[in-house]
Amino acid sequence: MNFEKPNQSSTLKKKKNLGLQTRISDKLISILGYSNRTIVQFVINLTKQTSSQIEFRKKLEQFEFSSKEISLFVQELFDEIPTTKKRKNYRKKEEHVEEEEESCSRSRQRRKVSSEDEESDEEARIACDKEEREKLEKSIRERDARKIAERKVKKVRCDVKDRKEMRKLRKISREEYLKDREKKKLEEMRDEIEDEKYLFGDGLKLSELENSKLRYMKDVYEIVKKKKGLEDVCDDEYKMPEVYDDQFGGVNQEKRFAAALQRYKEVESGAEQKSWEDQQIGNGSLKFGSQDVNRNGDDYEYLFEDQIEFVKASVMEGENEEDMFDESSDGFREKERVQKLQDERKTLPIYRFREDLLKAIHDHQVLIIVGETGSGKTTQITQYLHEAGYTKRGKIGCTQPRRVAAMSVASRVSKEMGVKLGNEVGYSIRFEDNTSEKTVIKYMTDGMLLREFLGEPDLASYSVLMVDEAHERTISTDVLFGLVKDIARFRSDLKLIISSASLDANKFSDYFDGAPIFRIPGRRFPIEIHYTKAPEADYMDAAIVTILQIHLTQPPGDILVFLTGQEEIEAAEELLRQRTRGMGTKIAELIICPIFANLPLELQNNIFEPTPKGARKVVLATNIAETSLTIDGISYVIDPGFCKMKSYSPRTGMESLLVTPVSKASALQRAGRSGRTGPGKCFRLYTAFNYQNDLEENTVPEIQRTNISNVVLTLKCLGIDDLMAFDFMDPPPAETLLKALELLYSLNALNSVGQLTKTGRRMAEFPLDPMLSKMIVASEKYKCSEEIISIAAMLSAGNLVFYRPKEKKVHADAAKMNFHTGNVGDHIALLKVYSSWEEHNYSTQWCFENFVQVKTMKQARDIRDQLKGLLERVEIELSSSFNDVESIKKAITSGFFPHFALLQRTGAYRTGRNPQTAHIHPSSGLAYVLPKCVIYHELVLTTKEYMRQITEVKPEWLVEIAPHYYQLKDLQDAVVKKRPRVKHT
């Protein structure tokens, strides 16, 4: 409906107009999530003269809202009948107060439980109550006022029977309304001028437009004031006591806030006991206000309504504050450069411990080394050992959890030693072996060493083995622990170094039969840890508010925010842009840099661009920034305390990715990211109590939450028969282990007594999941190994084959369906994608045209090349039968028969031997085809149980291929006779 002009409106409408500003403010907060600051400015401008939807739209467009936002907003504002969604929004708003009360009482309860000090508990309760009571009272007052007004209107309506009377009333109320409106406008203008002066007063440059607006407002205000006198303007509302007005007719803000601040001061200095948390963790707190940029130590601060209060809890001590490497040594001649590097080596924290360290290694076979990042352990220990002559007896191996780390560390060490990378110092990672016969110091990924075990079970060519970053506990390191511990028993000449940054080195020590622990101080600056005072209900919102708080109140330095995933990062980016948009030049520039693994590389590199002077960078990152990459210049870390973690259910074979609270170790690691180049601050968006009591000590090691059938096969291949007795540091759940053994048995990789078969031995050669390996081994029989390795490569390259931008969904889907013609199934579709790409000479252009991800394809090519090489090793001939779809499907079935599912009457599927309801994932080409009998690549739990990558098979094949697993009778009984109705789109 249209918004009527005031002179036509009824009393009711007038009432509505009167509250327009409040309504708009509320709407903006609830619909668009704007900050108060933006809203006040916006609403004042908006309500000046506007009276129709069209005008509103125009106004809104001036403020650079998207047309979607505008439609939503205008509709919300003008529509009288609230939709469900809207109602929800209203309700949310109303419930807000109650929620706050509830959360307050919750935290109060928690405090009560935890606090041993009754009185301090009481203190906290009172403080909490006081704040809450005020908030509640305010909202109750407002609500009552609204109700009374509504009742009045009703009454008037009932009483008036006569039209004339109605008109008279309208006139009266119209007059009242106009008077009222005038008052309000003036008040607003006054406040606006005040706020402008106060918030963005001196020092901050305003744009020309902003300046002229302000001037205009001041002029109008002065004229009206002279004419009417300010005091009459607002006699029916709360008025600022005179004492606050300064001689210029403005309001003295310092006095205005003095009373409020007095309370905090009293609490701080006068109270004998503090709340439990204050006692525990000090009383630092962070306030909000743009003027803090220029001003320090004033006795009041402007507070935003939605500000978050932090309490400073502790300081992680810095251990060494020497300068970092200076790598700008290009102009030196070779010898001088080596000399300079040698000098630099001596400045590393580890250098002082060189002799002690060498002695410790000499005296003990196994040594646990604990050292923070930056101590130099990774680059130096290998060199010390080389210098001490350990390389005469064999190589020094050092494992890293990541490829990049292995490469860059090796490169660094080769420079320090003045040798060519790949000669004395080399690295070995998948797809790339940069070592030679001369190599004595070898860096490699942990998975690579595990592969080496297969060829050299006693690691005879190594004299020293160093497992670096052991605290990360990847599957590979965990398995390596067990293996190296074992070989160390009979190879007394082998030295073992386990290096970790974690605090629980004792666990490592215990595991390695009480090996001594050698501690090396790191090179980190002190970091202040801040916790929130009360739990935050919405961590996303809290993170945004905190970013702005830091931006406006803290000295220069970039911000790093840890979020859980791509979706969240994109949402946060949008929210942040919205909130800063209205501020224009009033705040310093905020550069927002998202980063997650799926982000195209060229965009990822944005985060390494140095921040321009006067600006501040906000990096919104997933866990990728926790370990995998280091960003310089980060001074502030915001840690909401969550991450996505994979979990695995051995019973159903289902994997899921869940948002889980981080562990203390992980929180510590995140905090440490702020202190690499200078003193840092970490803001945790949870309370100190949460940290102490709700977080796990360490992250559950990967081996306990993933499918380990691949690991089991590798271990079996190493001749470890009794896996239950294998010395895992943290053993995987027995059920997972049994499931893996069962799978390997049904794939014929193990015989009935659990020994490796010939098939199993061949399978173990492939760095793939056993089912994929089996598929490849089986391709020999069906003469289609060329096709099968393409499929295996595509499947193990990940789910990110097809790219689907929001704005080109239709095109992307159409392009994708090209590969699915004839409902061949997802496996064959992947094969088609790979072959077409190959036919087009691995063209990047082709990828763009077909909405296929280049990165994934290149990875698939690398994997395929590797698999091709391995085929030769296991003596499988390359053979191709591209057009014989049945053979290809049979080969796939040979690996994936345990993953079969049958269509049910309901349209859902029932999977395998441990029946489980599942659905075809909507991204599958068969999502609407619903074949009777399918095999799937993986089962994932997201919003539903989904099967990803589906191919239709015939039940007879299953019996033919896996007679030990299926009987035709069972399958035929299970297949539905009547097909469910297929939905069409």
Partner DNA sequence: GAGCACTGC
Tell me which H or E stretch contains 339. Answer: helix 334-347
- Determine the Cα–Cα distance for residues 966 and 970; give it in Å rounded to an integer: 7
Q: Which of residues 630-659 bind DNA (CB under 7 A)?
A: 643-646, 657
- Determine the Cα–Cα distance for residues 687 and 890; give it in Å rounded to an integer: 56
- Helical H segments across 695-757, by residue range: 709-717, 734-746
**Burial of 116 (C-beta count, 10 Å sphere; 0-12/13-18/19+):** exposed
DSSP class of 367: E
Nearer to DNA, 585 or 628 (CB): 628
Phi-psi domain of 64 (left: phi exceeds 0; alpha: psi -120 through 50; beta: other): left
- Determine the Cα–Cα distance for residues 414 and 426; give it in Å rounded to an integer: 8
What is the per-residue binding string for DNA in 903-942, x denoting contact by CB under 7 A?
------------------xxx---x------------x-x
Q: Is 761 in the site for DNA (CB under 7 A)?
A: no
Q: Three-state DSSP class for 798?
A: coil
Nearer to DNA, 183 or 430 (CB): 430
Instruction: Return the amino acid letter for 807.
Output: E
* Out of 534, 768, 901, 947, the residue judged to bind DNA by CB under 7 A: 768
Dihedral sign computed on CA atoms, order 556, 562, 566, 568: negative
Q: Report in angstroms how near the CB of residue 48 gets to DNA at its nearest.
A: 41
Q: Is 813 in the site for DNA (CB under 7 A)?
A: yes
Per-residue tokens: 10: 């009824």
Query: In the block, which residue shows the tokens 């606050």?
Result: 244
Neighbours of 209 (CB within 10 A): 10
Q: Report in angstroms how near the CB of residue 630 gets to DNA at its nearest.
A: 13
Q: Report in angstroms how near the CB of residue 93 gets to DNA at its nearest.
A: 28
- Determine the Cα–Cα distance for residues 300 and 285; give it in Å rounded to an integer: 13
The DSSP bridge pattern shows strands 642-649 and 654-661 to be antiparallel
Total H helices, total E strands in the chain:
36, 22
Nearer to DNA, 450 or 688 (CB): 450
Per-residue b/e over 647-669, b at no fewer than 16 CB within 10 Å?
ebbbebbbbeeeebbbbbbbbbb
Instruction: Return the amino acid letter for 184.
Output: K
Per-residue tokens: 136: 């509640």
Binding segment toward DNA, per CB under 7 A, in 89-97, 298-306, 558-566, 727-735: 558-566
Nearer to DNA, 768 or 871 (CB): 768
Q: Which of residues 333-362 bind DNA (CB under 7 A)?
A: none
Beta bridge pairs of residue 386: none
Query: In the block, which residue shows the tokens 């202040």?
Result: 528
Q: Report in angstroms how near the CB of residue 324 gets to DNA at its nearest.
A: 24
- Helical H segments across 229-326, by residue range: 230-233, 253-270, 276-281
Q: Is 451 in the site for DNA (CB under 7 A)?
A: yes
* Out of 33, 284, 422, 565, the residue judged to bind DNA by CB under 7 A: 565
Q: Which of residues 41-60 bind DNA (CB under 7 A)?
A: none
Query: What are the C-alpha distances in Å from 552 to residues 308, 561, 607, 717, 905?
Result: 13, 16, 21, 59, 60
What is the per-residue binding string for DNA in 476-505, x denoting contact by CB under 7 A?
x-----------------------------
Nearer to DNA, 533 or 921 (CB): 921
Q: Report in angstroms how near the CB of residue 402 gets to DNA at its nearest.
A: 4
Q: Report in angstroms how near the CB of residue 71 gets to DNA at its nearest.
A: 21
Nearer to DNA, 500 or 796 (CB): 796
Q: Is 692 in the site for DNA (CB under 7 A)?
A: no
Q: Which of residues 703-722 bind DNA (CB under 7 A)?
A: 710
Q: Is 793 in the site for DNA (CB under 7 A)?
A: no
Q: Is 944 in the site for DNA (CB under 7 A)?
A: yes
- Determine the Cα–Cα distance for residues 559 and 617; give it in Å rounded to an integer: 6
- Determine the Cα–Cα distance for residues 545 and 33; give it in Å rounded to an integer: 11
Q: Is 731 in the site for DNA (CB under 7 A)?
A: no
DSSP class of 445: E
Residue 731 CB contacts under 8 Å (≥ 6 apart), including other chains? 704, 737
Binding segment toward DNA, per CB under 7 A, in 189-197, 365-373, 616-624, 835-843: 616-624
* Out of 767, 770, 825, 898, the residue judged to bind DNA by CB under 7 A: 767
Query: In the block, which residue shows the tokens 């107009």?
Result: 17
Binding segment toward DNA, per CB under 7 A, in 281-289, 549-557, 728-736, 792-800: 792-800
Q: Is 943 in the site for DNA (CB under 7 A)?
A: yes
Q: Is 660 in the site for DNA (CB under 7 A)?
A: no
Nearer to DNA, 643 or 961 (CB): 643
Q: Is 603 in the site for DNA (CB under 7 A)?
A: no
Binding segment toward DNA, per CB under 7 A, in 634-642, 795-803, 832-840, 896-904: 795-803
Q: Which of residues 390-419 bind DNA (CB under 7 A)?
A: 401-404
Q: Is 598 in the site for DNA (CB under 7 A)?
A: yes
Q: Is 623 in the site for DNA (CB under 7 A)?
A: yes
Nearer to DNA, 139 or 408 (CB): 408
Nearer to DNA, 978 or 984 (CB): 984
- Determine the Cα–Cα distance for residues 191 and 185; give it in Å rounded to an integer: 10
Q: Report in angstroms how near the CB of residue 431 gets to DNA at its nearest.
A: 7
Q: Report in angstroms how near the CB of residue 569 gets to DNA at its nearest.
A: 8
Q: Report in angstroms how near the CB of residue 764 gets to DNA at its nearest.
A: 10
Q: Is 474 in the site for DNA (CB under 7 A)?
A: yes
* Out of 624, 720, 962, 976, the residue judged to bind DNA by CB under 7 A: 624
Q: Report in angstroms how near the CB of residue 57 gets to DNA at its nearest.
A: 29
Nearer to DNA, 276 or 562 (CB): 562
- Determine the Cα–Cα distance for residues 151 and 139; give it in Å rounded to an integer: 18
Binding segment toward DNA, per CB under 7 A, in 25-33, 155-163, 549-557, 593-601: 593-601
Nearer to DNA, 647 or 746 (CB): 647
Q: Phi/psi at 378 (nearest 5 deg)?
A: -65, -40
Q: By CB under 7 A, how many residues form the interface with DNA? A: 51
* Out of 320, 628, 698, 836, the residue judged to bind DNA by CB under 7 A: 628
Q: Phi/psi at 457 (nearest 5 deg)?
A: -60, -20
Q: What is the dihedral of CA 770, 772, 778, 784, to 10 degrees?
A: -160
Q: Is 204 in the site for DNA (CB under 7 A)?
A: no
Nearer to DNA, 74 or 657 (CB): 657
* Out of 11, 173, 414, 622, the residue judged to bind DNA by CB under 7 A: 622
Beta bridge pairs of residue 464: 396, 495
* Out of 148, 597, 615, 724, the residue judged to bind DNA by CB under 7 A: 597
Strand locations in 613-703 (E): 616-621, 634-639, 642-649, 654-661, 680-684
Beta bridge pairs of residue 786: none
Residue 673 CB contacts under 8 Å (≥ 6 apart), including other chains? 560, 625, 626, 630, 631, 634, 637, 680
Q: Is 585 in the site for DNA (CB under 7 A)?
A: no
Q: Is 700 in the site for DNA (CB under 7 A)?
A: no
Q: Do 585 and 613 meet the contact criterion of CB atoms below 8 Å apart?
A: no
Q: Report in angstroms how near the CB of residue 772 gets to DNA at its nearest.
A: 10
Residue 336 CB contacts under 8 Å (≥ 6 apart), including other chains? none
Q: Is 985 in the site for DNA (CB under 7 A)?
A: yes
Nearer to DNA, 186 or 459 (CB): 459
Taking only Cα atoms into account, the Rg of the chain, rounded to an integer number of angstroms, comes to: 34
Binding stretches for DNA (CB under 7 A) = 401-404, 429-430, 445-448, 450-451, 474-476, 564-567, 596-598, 622-624, 628, 643-646, 657, 710, 767-768, 796, 799-800, 804, 809, 813, 921-923, 927, 940, 942-944, 946, 983, 985
